[in-house]
Structure 1
C-alpha cells in the first residue's frame, strides 16, 4: 500500500501544480493560487482515499487514519465551497480602496446571497412539513438528504454532459468541413464579443478621465481618484497600442464622484471592463 501512496500522492500534487501553472494569470495573487491549489487537492484526494479505503475494507483492517482523511476532505471542501472561496471571490471583485472595506463588501454580498438561499430553503421546509402532517424526520436528516441529492444530481448531470459532449465533439472534429464552419462561427462570435468589450472599456476609460478632470485637487475623494488615475496610467504602459474609440458619456456616468462607494464602483467597473477585454483579446 505504501507503494500506492508514493505514486498517487506526488501524482495528485503534480496534477494540481501543473493545472495551476497552466491556467493562472500573471496577476493572480499568491493567496488566491494557494487557496485554489488546496481546493483542487481536496477534490482530487479521492484518488488516494478511495483505493485506500477499499483496501483496508477488503483486508479487514481497522484504520482510524482513513476516517480522519475522509473527514478532512469533506469538511475542507465544505468550508472552502461555502465560506472561504466565496469570501475571496467577493474580496477580489470589490472595488473598494482598503482591505477592510473590500472584506466588508464581500461579507455583505455573500450574506445577501445566503439569506436568499436560506429564505427559499425555509419556504421549502415549511411546505414539506405542511404537506406531511405526521412528518417525524429530523431536520438534520432532511438537510443531509438534500445535500446528498444535490451532489448526486450535479454529478450525474456533469457526467452525462461529458459522456455526450466528448464523443460528439470528436465526431464533429473528424469532419474538416464541419470543423471549419464551427471555427468560423466561433471566430465571428468572438470578434463581436471583443468589439463589445473594447467599447465597454473605452466608455469606462472616458468616464474615469472625465471624472478625474472635473474633480479638484482639494476634493476629499481626490486620493481615491489618484488610485484610479494610476490604474489607467499602468494600463496604458502595459498596452500602449490600446486606443479608446467611441467612448461615450451616459446620462448618469458623472455621478461617480459623490462618495467613496461610488468611486469604488467606478474602479470596479474599470477593472472588470479591462479584464473582460483582455480575456477576449487573448
Structure 2
C-alpha cells in the first residue's frame, strides 16, 4: 500500500500545482494560492478519506474559504474593512442556512425523531446537497463527454460549432469591452475632478495605480468611453462608494479578459482546424506538411477521438449498469474481488473508476460554473474565481468518494467512511432508512434523459429556457450564425 501512496500523492500534488499555475492570474496573493492548492489536493486525494473529508468540510462549510473569498471580492481599501465586509456577507449567508437548518430541526422534534445534534443536522444538509447535485453533475458528464468527443471527430460539425462560438464570443467581447471602457472613463473622470487635498484622494490614488497597472499589462487596450448614466459620477461621496468603484472596475476587467481569452482560444482552434482540413484535401499535392505531422493531425487524431469516445461510452454504460441494478452487476466490484490477493491489480481496478468519476464530475462542475458563478481563464483567473471553484471542488469530494465506494461494492459491508457519512442525509433522518441508495437511480434516469436529448426537446417545445439546463455543444449548433466565418477570415488576414 505504501507504494501506492508514494506514487499517487506526489502525482496528485504535481497535477494540482500545474493546473493552478496554468489558470492563476498575475495578481493573485500567495495565501489564496496556498488555500486553493490545499483544498484541491485534499479533494483529489480522496483515498485518504478522513483527512480529505474533514479538511474539505472545514475549508468550505466553516470559515476559511468563504472568509477569504469575501475578503478578495471586497473593494475596500484596508484589511480591516475588507474583513468586515467579508464577515458581513458570510453572516447573511449563514443566517439563511441556519434558518433552514432550524426548520429541519423543528420538524425532526415534531416527528419525534432521534435528535442527531446540530453537527449531524449540518452534515445531513451538506451531504444531501452534495449527493443530489453530484449525481446530476456525474450524470451529465457520463453522457456529454463521449458525445462531444464523437462530434469533434467530425470536422464539418466542429467547424460549425467553433464558428458559432466565435460569433457569440465576439458579441460578448464587444459588450465587456464597452463596460470596461466605461468603468475606466468613470474612474479617470472621478480622479480628475478630485483635488489633491480631498480626504478621499488616498483611495483614488489606489484606483489610479490599479489603472496604471492595467495599461502596463495590456498596451493594446484603448478605452473608448460610451454614454455615461446619471449615477456614474456619484462615486466620490464616501469611502464605501470608492470601494464600490474599485470593485466594479476589477469585475469589469476580469469579465473582459475572460471573454477575450475564450475568444482567442476558439479562433486559434478554428484556424488550426481549417489548416488541417486543407492539408487533408491537398494530401496528394506537393508542398504538404511533413509526413509524420500529416499522419497525426489529419488521420490518427480524428480516429483516436472516435475510439476514445467509444471507450468512454462503454465505461459510462458499465457504471450506469451497476447503478441501475443497485450494484448487483458491478463489473468493477467483480474484477476487484477476483484479484483481491494481488494488491497492484486491486489498486489499478480501483484507480480507473475513481479517476473516471472524478473527471466527469469536475468536467460538469467547471462547465456549468463558468456559465454562472466563476470564470477560469488561462493565466488570468482571479482570486475570487479560484476560491469559488476551490470551494465547489472540495464540496463534491465526499459525494465522489461515496459513488466510488458504492461502485466497488465492498461485499455489503459498510466502510468507516459510509458509517460516518453515507447515511447522514436529510431524507434518511426523516424516513429512518438509508435513502442514499435511491440517489444513484436518480442519476441513471437523468443520464438517460440527457443522452436522449429529452431536455432539448422540452426546451424546444416550451420555449428558450436554456438557463434551466446544462449548455451542451449541440446548443452551439442551434441557430447557426455564419458571421463567425467572416470574423475568422479577418483574424487570419490580420495574423498573416
**Range into which the TM-score falls when normalised by the shorter chain:** 0.7 to 0.9
Alignment of 1:111-260 (within 5 A): 111-127=91-107, 129-130=109-110, 132=111, 134-140=112-118, 141-260=120-239
Whole-angstrom distance in 2 between the partners of 1:89 and 1:229: 24
Residues 12 and 44, structure 1, Cα contact 8 Å, conserved in 2? yes
Alignment of 1:85-100 (within 5 A): 85-100=65-80
Give the structure-2-normalised TM-score.
0.50
Give the structure-1-normalised TM-score.
0.85
Residues 101 and 121, structure 2, Cα contact 8 Å, conserved in 1? no
**Residue deviations 1:191-213, cap 9 Å, x none?**
11111111111111111111112
Q: Could you say which residue in structure 1 is the equivalent of 2:33?
A: 33
Give the 3 Å change call, closer, same or farther, for CA 145–272 of structure 1 in structure 2. closer
Whole-angstrom distance in 2 between the partners of 1:206 and 1:239: 17
Residues 108 and 114, structure 2, Cα contact 8 Å, conserved in 1? no
Alignment of 1:252-271 (within 5 A): 252-271=231-250
Q: Could you say which residue in structure 1 is the equivalent of 2:60?
A: 81
Deviates more, 1:263-272 or 1:84-93: 84-93
Whole-angstrom distance in 1 between the partners of 2:189 and 2:22: 39
Residues 206 and 248, structure 1, Cα contact 8 Å, conserved in 2? no
**Residue deviations 1:21-42, cap 9 Å, x none?**
2222222211111111100111
Instruction: Tell me, yes or no, if structure 1 residue 15 matches structure 2 residue 15.
Output: yes
Give the 3 Å change call, closer, same or farther, for CA 3–71 of structure 1 in structure 2. closer
Whole-angstrom distance in 2 between the partners of 1:96 and 1:143: 32
Residues 97 and 264, structure 1, Cα contact 8 Å, conserved in 2? yes
Structure 1 position 78, deviation (Å): 0.8
Whole-angstrom distance in 1 between the partners of 2:220 and 2:126: 50
Paired residues, number: 259
Whole-angstrom distance in 2 between the partners of 1:22 and 1:221: 37
Whole-angstrom distance in 2 between the partners of 1:161 and 1:277: 29
